[in-house]
Structure 1
Amino acid sequence: ESIDVPQTVSFSWAESAYAEEYQITVWDPSQPNVLLVDETVEVTNYSAVFELAQNLAWQVVALGPCGMAEANQTFAFRTIGNLAFNLNTSAITACLNDDASLVLNVGNGYFEPAAITYNVEPAADIDFTFDQDLTDVQPGQPVNVDVSFPLGLNTGTYTLLFMIDDGVHTSQAQMSINLVSAPVSFNLINPPNEELGTSATPAFDWASSEYASAYTLEVAKDADFADVVINQNTNLTNFTPTTDLDGNTTFYWRVKAGGFCGSNTSVPFNFTTLVSGTHQVDEGKISISPNPVDDLVLIEWDGAFSGDRSLRLLQLNGKSVKEEVIRTGQMEVFIDVSGLPAGIYFLELLNQENRILEKLIVH
């Protein structure tokens, strides 16, 4: 009544006095007239290969010059079954609020009833649905598993362990689950929002987004991003164009972070480029008094600017609300802001080569 006998079976028996040969026969008790082995040998051992999970019987007859000795024993045995117990994958990456399907392969060598249990580490409220009763698993039949990852779970790596036990055999199957989410919110950095006097080749820079694997930078001439002038895919968190943007133009920019579980788009920023052919200078800054102001403001500057000049008062969106033409040699000017809404403005002093911006607060 041996069980789990290897597929290559080694038979042996005691020697019989006066025997010259031995006849060994092996059969399936369910088909006793079909002999799987019927061999005559001169030794007291024999080997043969059988299928997995076969119930078999065997006996030996001793043959000699005076006849044969009838077998007085018949032994039964069962070859080892297919004790495979594994999952169709060793690891998956899944998203929150998503589902996954697994297949748990169970070999036909387990005895009935076989039972399966499972465990998740670290503990988590992951939902499992099985197409078989885990207390009465059918050997040789795969177990289909549907897994759900509800919102509220912590992202990270989980270990899923399945165990089978039929009272004689035990085995385990393990896999890892990498639970991730869509890319998280992130911020744009440079150019700053509503910046004036931005270079025509700005160095775009933004914060990284967790769970993002790539980014798409969009730069447009309108807030709806219908007129896109830059559409750049990158794995980095920065990009500098090699072609100049139009001068004295307001642009809008945003970044889309893409990952395994979807995407997340930043809040858009805008900036206004320098007038073509000019550049920003640090020397010769404007002196503004008072600042903040509610009526008349005095603007003074040094001699860094020459030739034809203009002074403009700009809203944050770059729109001019006041403009003064500066005479040659003039080093100051008064501007009346009493009729303007309270808020933040920029004073722009501009000639053919240089540009200076200073912030003005109107009460």
Structure 2
Amino acid sequence: MTRMIFSINQCSSIELRLLKALRALNWEGNWPAQAGFFLEEIGLSSAQTFVFADLVSVIIKADPNFYLLGPMSAYVSRDELNLLAALGIASRKFSNTSDQSDPQIAPVLKSLVDSCGTALSKARIAMKTRSPLQAGRTVPGAASQVIPFQDDRTMRTVRVVSVHKPTPQVRRIVLGGHSLKTFETDLPAQWVKIFLPDGTAQPIGRAFTIHNFDTINKELTFDIALHEGGPMSEWALTAKPGDELQLAGPRGGFKGATPRSWLLMAADETGLPAIAAIVRQLPADLEVHVFAEVADETERQFLEIQPKVRVRWIYRNGSATQEPETLSEVLRYSPLPTTGGDAWIAAEASVIRSIRTQLLRDRGFELGKVHAAGYWKRGEQDHRDLAAG
């Protein structure tokens, strides 16, 4: 098949950054995990980035031949230019009553393009004015039955089997029930969304990493890091065996480290269940450096580790022998291997952004080898991050 590509100079600086994110969403390795950061860099919120993930998913399902180049390509394809044109029209339409969108776009895809255009407009991102190429399509002719990619919403009713208290500020919940007989996990650190039954059409739901799934007894364990005012925290304080919940998933997960490399892992309390699940399944000969931030020594948890796993506990409130420290500060001055490795990081969104920049700029990590997910965001409820999968 003949491919038509053009100079990257065809694109404005904003288009280049948007295009890089759109390409990353369809790329291999850890590139999809970077897309959320690329989109946020041009002013989009974490919630808006999921609209663009849906768009790319639908386009690729509708037309596998749609030509998205590699994230660092010095060229731009005809398909990509036409997609940028469609997004530009959609973003301008948000503040214009006239509908200029292409009538040939299938309804589902048109809705997604319009949603992306609205997100760009609300973020005050000015797209370059351009017309679709005469020899090309604006976007692929998706069949009307194609729907946007969504989380697995197959709801399972489960019940609390037991409640444990590994630390003062963590509740470990074990779930069971007939619906888990068909539940499967294929990667460590996958997550599920837990919903509190409150009798409303949209029950309160939050994402939690699977600490462990017992394949024999079909019981799923997850941790809740308690914090004031959170609905799940309030529920966990009084949770008891027999309580019913619903869950959807699993999603995401750790896909493994590069062979013959080394792995950096860093997290606060919210990421510790993922680290616990990952280190249990790592190769015994892999060099691993774990940095875990908790409030104080009482919040330190047991980790089942391999001989070559080194763990550094960081206490943000300090201890009898340590001054108060933070994850970002400790990583900045800690000695690490100088050869390129892989990194897996999960914590508060702004902390993750700082550490990610530090690793790429000062530590020499390759962009595609840094998996950094904001598991929560200060001041925001039910934060979602594309990098979490």
Between 1 and 2, higher relative CO (CA 8 Å, sep ≥ 6) is seen in 2
Taking structure 1 as the reference length, the TM-score comes to 0.20
Taking structure 2 as the reference length, the TM-score comes to 0.19
Could you say which structure has the larger radius of gyration?
1
Between structures 1 and 2, the one with greater strand share: 1
